[in-house]
Structure 1
C-alpha cells in the first residue's frame, strides 16, 4: 500500500516518539526516587558550627593542619589526628588554637590507634555529634616503577587507601548518627572508587560524601619527598644502574623538582573546598582543584583512545630525552 508523504512522516514520527512516550512514566518514577534518595532535610553547621565535631586525619602539617585551624575559628570541636602528637606540627597547632581543638595520636595504618581515637572522640563528643570526618592523611612519592620496592608500594597503599578505609569504617556510625559528611582528599584512584561507592550507600542515611582532588600543591604542603639524584641512585641495584644511568637519574630528578615549583604555592583553594564540603547544604560530589592546563587532562583524557593519550606523552621533550639517555644494548 502506498502512503502519502505526510502519512509516511506521521507513521515514522509515531514509531519513534511512541516508545519514548511509553518510557516517560518510568523515567519520571526513577527521577522521583532518585530525588527522594539523595535529598534530605538539611541538618548541620549552616545553622551554626558550635556543638558539632569534625575529625581530621593528617594534621601534623599541610592541608590537615590548615583546615583544623580554620574549623576551630568557625567554632567546631576539632579532633586533630596527628602521627606525632608531641611533634612540632602538632604542638604548633595546639598553640594556635582554642580549647575546642583536641590533638589525637592517630596513625591511620594502626588498628589500635584508630580504636583509641574513636574512644577519645566518643568520650568527648560535642552536643550535636560528629558532623564530619576528613580523610586527609596521605603520603606521596615520585619514582619510576622500577625504582621502587614492593615495600614502597605496600606502605603507600596502607596509608593512602587502607588507612582511609580503616578510619571511615570506624567512624561511620558516629557520622551516620549526625547525618553528616565524609570528606576524602583524593589523589589515588582506589580511594576515589571507594568514596564513589560509599556516597551511594550513605545517601540513604542522609550522609553526604565528597571527594577533594587537589592538583600540584607540592609547594603549599610538605607531602612530597624531596630527593637528590644520589638518593635515587643509591637505592638501585646493579642491574638497574646499568639500565637507568646516572645522567638520566639527574635529568629526571631535576624535571620533578621544576614541576613541583610550577604548582600552587598557596593551599587556600583546597582549604576553601574542604570548608564548602563540610558546611554547605549542597556540597559537591567532587572538587577538582587543578590549573587550567591540567584541567585539559582531567576532563578530556578519559574520553580519548589510549593510542592518542600515549602519543601525547611520547611527544613530550622529556620523553625524547629519556629515550636518548637510557641504556641500550
Structure 2
C-alpha cells in the first residue's frame, strides 16, 4: 500500500490504527448502546480487524529481502521525460542492463539525446512507440540479442509510457478516448505480450504504471481514468496467470505528480481545451456555455504547478517492485491525503 518509505508509512499506519482501533469502535459501540445491543462485541470485532490492517501496513514497511541487481536486464518504456529517464539512470547505476524506450529517439528528442550521452555497454536507448507493433517487435528482437549471456532472459519490463487528458464526458470526443487508451492501455498490453516469452524464461517481473485514479476517480478525468482502471484489471489477471511461471506482477498507483513530471502544462491544457471546444457538438456547447468551459480549463491550468515535485517515491516503488524478493502487488507513492482518500473510496460505501 505504501512505497516503503518509513516516515510516510508509519504516519499512515498511525492514522489508520487510531481511526479504526479507537474512533470506529467508539462510534459502533455508541450505535449498539442506543439500539440496546451487546456493544462489547462491536469493539472487539473492529479492534481485531484494525490489528490485522496494521499488520499489513507493517509488512509493507519492513524489509522483504532484496535481489542482486547486477546484470539483470530491464526494458523501460516512456523514457523521453518524467519518471522514465530518471528510473533508467537509477537502475543503470545499480548495475542493471537498461533498455530505455523513447518515443522520439528517431526525431531527435531531447530526452533520448540526453540518455544517449551515457556511454555504457549496459545502457541502450531504443526507438519505441508503444502504439506501433513493428517498433515493439524490433525492440524485443534487439533486446533478445543483447541480453547478457549470464542471464536466462529479460528480468523485467516497466510499462511507464503514458498519456493524459481532461474534460467532462460530453466534451470529450471518442477520438480523444481512443488516443489516450492507445498508449495507456493497448500500449501496456502490446509491450507486455511481446516481452513475456523473455520474462518467463527469467522468472522476472512486470511492473505497470496505473494511477491513484485507477482506484478512485474525479470529475473531468474519465478519458484518463478508464485506462488506469483497465490497467488494474489487466495486471491482476496477468498476475494470476503468471504465477505458474514464477513471474511477479506489480502495479504502481502514484498520486499527483503533475508538478514533477510536467505531464500537463498551461499551454498544453489550453491547446487541448481549444481542440475540445472546436469538436464539441453545438447543442453541448449551448447547454454548458463557454463561461463554464473556460472556468474548467482555467482550473486545470492551476493544477499544472501542484502536486509532488520529488519523484523519488515513484522511482523507489519501481525499484522495489523489480528487486524486492517479495514485491508488493500495489504501491501507492502518494501524499497521506491521497492515501487516506484512496482507502475511503475503495473500502467505504460508494455514496461517500
| Shorter-chain TM-score tier | 0.7 to 0.9
Q: How far apart, CA to CA, are the structure 2 residues paired with 1:286 and 1:178?
A: 22
**Equivalent in the alignment of 2:173:** 149
The answer as to 2:299 corresponding to 1:255 is yes
Q: How far apart, CA to CA, are the structure 2 residues paired with 1:242 and 1:283?
A: 51
1:59/1:80 contact within 8 Å kept: yes
The answer as to 2:220 corresponding to 1:196 is no
**Equivalent in the alignment of 2:160:** 136
The answer as to 2:115 corresponding to 1:75 is no
What TM-score results when the alignment is normalised by the length of structure 2?
A: 0.71
After superposition, what is the alpha-carbon deviation per residue over 1:27-52, rounded to whole angstroms, capped at 9, x for unaligned? xxxxxxxxxxxxxxxxx9723x2321
State which of 115, 126, 132 in structure 2 corresponds to 1:93.
Answer: 115
The answer as to 2:258 corresponding to 1:218 is yes
**Equivalent in the alignment of 1:122:** 144
1:53/1:77 contact within 8 Å kept: yes
Q: How far apart, CA to CA, are the structure 1 residues paired with 2:264 and 2:203?
A: 34
Q: How far apart, CA to CA, are the structure 2 residues paired with 1:97 and 1:164?
A: 29
1:45/1:52 contact within 8 Å kept: no
Q: How far apart, CA to CA, are the structure 2 residues paired with 1:199 and 1:161?
A: 16
* CA positional deviation for 1:231: 5.0
- Structure 1 segment 1-329 matched on structure 2, within 5 A: 46-47=67-68, 49-85=69-105, 86-96=108-118, 98-127=120-149, 128=151, 129-187=153-211, 188-224=228-264, 226-228=268-270, 230-306=274-350, 308-309=351-352
DSSP 3-state at the match of 1:134: strand
Q: How far apart, CA to CA, are the structure 2 residues paired with 1:248 and 1:58?
A: 34
Aligned length: 264
* CA positional deviation for 1:111: 1.1
After superposition, what is the alpha-carbon deviation per residue over 1:154-204, rounded to whole angstroms, capped at 9, x for unaligned? 111111111111111111111111111110011301011111111122122
* CA positional deviation for 1:92: 0.8
Name which structure has the greater RCO, CA cutoff 8 Å, separation 6+: 2
DSSP 3-state at the match of 1:219: helix
Q: How far apart, CA to CA, are the structure 2 residues paired with 1:198 and 1:283?
A: 15
Unpaired runs of at least 5, structure 2? 1-64, 212-227
* CA positional deviation for 1:251: 1.6
After superposition, what is the alpha-carbon deviation per residue over 1:251-288, rounded to whole angstroms, capped at 9, x for unaligned? 21222233343311121110011011111111111101
Unpaired runs of at least 5, structure 1? 1-43, 310-329
* CA positional deviation for 1:79: 0.6
- Would you identify which runs of 4 or more consecutive aligned residues in structure 1 move more than 4 Å? 229-232
* CA positional deviation for 1:108: 1.1
DSSP 3-state at the match of 1:210: strand
Q: How far apart, CA to CA, are the structure 1 residues paired with 2:66 and 2:240?
A: 22
2:173/2:279 contact within 8 Å kept: no
Give the root-mean-square deviation of aligned CA atoms. 1.8
Structure with larger Rg: 1
2:262/2:304 contact within 8 Å kept: no
